């Protein structure tokens, strides 16, 4: 199951990263590109999603253990990013990644889901 979820997360992250570059899906609102008119995005943000999606896919293809570990690592990273988002609700995170409150709340949800998948799924032994 964790491998399947890793593949799903990988595909979604890749798609979101690519869509962040597509005019029409990303619109300019008050001088800031916004994915679906809700989530602030920029080149760095999109690239993070593309790289993350590729790592999710690679981890899932490597096996359940690798996928589970990646969910744990990425869940912690997303939790940290969410905290940073609350500290800087309408600015750049780490000086380069766009952020707004909907992005921060999405990061909270994603962190919770990834941590749950990473730590609540049983270890598989072969």
**Number of domains the chain contains:** 1
DSSP assigned state of 26: E
Our CA angle for 25, 96, 91, nearest 5°, is 80
pLDDT of residue 125: 53
Is residue 87 a part of any domain in this protein?
Answer: yes
Q: Is residue 125 part of a domain?
A: no
Summarize the confidence of residues 92-107 as an average pLDDT.
91
**pLDDT reported for residue 124:** 67
Res. 62: pLDDT tops 70: yes
Domain of 25 in residue numbering reads as 2-120
- What is the reported pLDDT for 121? 83
| pLDDT confidence band for 80 (50 / 70 / 90) | very high
pLDDT at 91 over 90: no
Q: What is the mean pLDDT of the chain?
A: 91
Does residue 84 sit within a domain?
yes
Model pTM score? 0.87
126 is a domain residue? no
109 lies in a domain? yes
Query: Which DSSP string do the residues of 67-117 spell out, in sequence order?
Result: HHHHHHHHHHHHHHHHHHHHHSTTS-BTTTB---HHHHHHHHHHHHHHHHH
């Amino acid at each position: 199951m964790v491998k399947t979820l890793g593949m799903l997360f990988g595909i979604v992250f890749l798609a979101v990263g690519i869509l962040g570059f597509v005019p029409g899906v990303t619109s300019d609102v008050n001088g800031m590109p916004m994915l679906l008119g809700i989530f602030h995005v920029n080149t760095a943000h999109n690239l993070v999603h593309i790289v993350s999606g590729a790592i999710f896919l690679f981890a899932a293809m490597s096996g359940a253990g690798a996928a589970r570990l990646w969910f744990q690592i990425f869940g912690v990273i997303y939790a940290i990013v969410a905290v940073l988002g609350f500290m800087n609700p309408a600015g750049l995170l780490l000086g380069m990644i766009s952020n707004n409150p909907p992005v921060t709340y999405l990061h909270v949800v994603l962190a919770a889901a990834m941590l749950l998948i990473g730590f609540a799924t049983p270890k598989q032994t072969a």
